[in-house]
């Protein structure tokens, strides 16, 4: 897929790794996950730099959904922040980022961290950068990182999704870039949402094996494949027709990236979008 994009033989847009940001005023932002591509993403997004002072930033807080390397490495790129980073994670994520991959220890030598525990007991979270958005963390069945002592035996809190409620527009968005199993609590949250932004990592469970890119299945890495019985498409089809459905966190082996391919055509038939860099989603009051 990547070679085809470079050579112009595949109709696909280049993409950076998965991160999103939310705001309720367009000036201050809360960032969800910090990918290794975070500097490129911030440079491409003018809203991230309001330029109110030297080394200013619109990013007021960071919420990590897991401790995976593709969601956390970008923390190092934020090390020159002029005050401690407001960081929100579960306790298992904090543990992994303090030991197996000790990014938080490194950041203590730079900007420092103002850590806030994300609990799984139903409390509402309001993040600096988007205070009018009520956020609820939902435990997901996925997998802990390879450097975690809980690899292949994850506990609640290793991976979470979030249900966001804009208290002004009364609209909701569900975000889960790493989702390995459709549990009841997850499905209930998805049904509440006006927009679902969910795991689009792989088309088939054995995709990376067939491509010769890995010996791992999507399931073993904590991702629900899109196609086939019980796949993401089947679940998304059960949502109301008014729900906006978007796949995010897409692996470079996934054929849905090819906009001229049959897999993308199938998604279009099912009313499912594919996230891309620079995508903006507005939760307005609607009809």
Whether residues 180 and 119 fall in one domain:
no
Specify if 165 maps to a domain.
no
Final residue of a domain: which of 72, 96, 127?
Answer: 127
Whether residues 104 and 174 fall in one domain:
no
This prediction's pTM: 0.94
| Domain of residue 223, residue span | 170-275
pLDDT surpassing 60 at residue 287: no
Number of domains in the chain: 2
List for the chain the helix, strand, coil content (%; round to 5): 25, 25, 55
Final residue of a domain: which of 109, 127, 145?
Answer: 127
Specify if 154 maps to a domain.
no
Whether residues 121 and 201 fall in one domain:
no
Judge residue 280's burial from the number of C-beta atoms within 10 Å of its C-beta, 0-12 exposed, 13-18 middle, 19 or more buried.
exposed
Specify if 190 maps to a domain.
yes
Would you state the structure tokens that stand for residue 86, as one six-digit string? 């407001």
pLDDT surpassing 60 at residue 286: no
pLDDT surpassing 60 at residue 173: yes
Distance CA 199, CA 180 (A): 8
Beta-carbon count within 10 A of 285 CB: 9
The CA radius of gyration of the chain, in Å to the nearest whole number, is 18
The proportion of the chain whose per-residue pLDDT surpasses 90, expressed as a percent, equals 86
What are the helix (H) ranges across the chain?
A: 2-7, 38-44, 69-72, 91-96, 103-107, 184-192, 207-210, 232-236, 262-269
Mark residue 133 as left, alpha or beta (left: phi above 0; alpha: psi -120 to 50; beta: remaining): beta
Final residue of a domain: which of 127, 161, 183?
Answer: 127
């Amino acid at each position: 897929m990547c070679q085809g994009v470079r050579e112009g033989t595949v109709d696909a847009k280049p993409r950076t790794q998965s991160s999103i940001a939310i705001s309720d005023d367009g000036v201050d932002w809360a960032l969800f996950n910090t990918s290794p591509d975070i500097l490129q993403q911030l440079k491409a997004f003018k809203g991230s730099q309001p330029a109110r002072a030297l080394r200013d930033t619109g990013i007021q807080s960071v919420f990590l959904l897991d401790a995976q390397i593709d969601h956390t490495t970008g923390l190092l790129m934020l090390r020159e922040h002029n005050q401690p980073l407001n960081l929100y994670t579960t306790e298992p994520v904090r543990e992994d980022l303090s030991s197996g991959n000790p990014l938080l220890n490194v950041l203590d030598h730079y900007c420092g961290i103002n850590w806030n525990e994300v609990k799984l007991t139903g409390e509402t979270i309001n993040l600096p950068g988007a205070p009018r958005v009520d956020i609820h963390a939902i435990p997901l069945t996925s997998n802990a990182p390879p450097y975690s002592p809980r690899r292949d035996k994850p506990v609640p809190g290793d991976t979470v999704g979030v249900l966001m409620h804009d208290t002004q527009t009364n609209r909701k968005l569900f975000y889960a870039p790493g989702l390995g199993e459709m549990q009841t609590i997850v499905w209930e949250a998805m049904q509440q949402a006006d927009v679902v932004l969910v795991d689009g990592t792989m088309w088939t469970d054995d995709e990376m094996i067939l491509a010769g890119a890995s010996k791992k299945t999507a399931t073993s890495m904590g991702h629900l494949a899109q196609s086939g019985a019980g796949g993401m498409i089947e679940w998304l089809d059960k949502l109301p027709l008014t729900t906006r459905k978007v796949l995010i966190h897409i692996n470079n082996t996934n054929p849905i990236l090819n906009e001229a391919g049959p897999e993308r055509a199938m998604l279009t038939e099912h009313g499912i979008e594919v996230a891309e860099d620079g995508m903006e989603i507005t939760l307005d009051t609607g009809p």
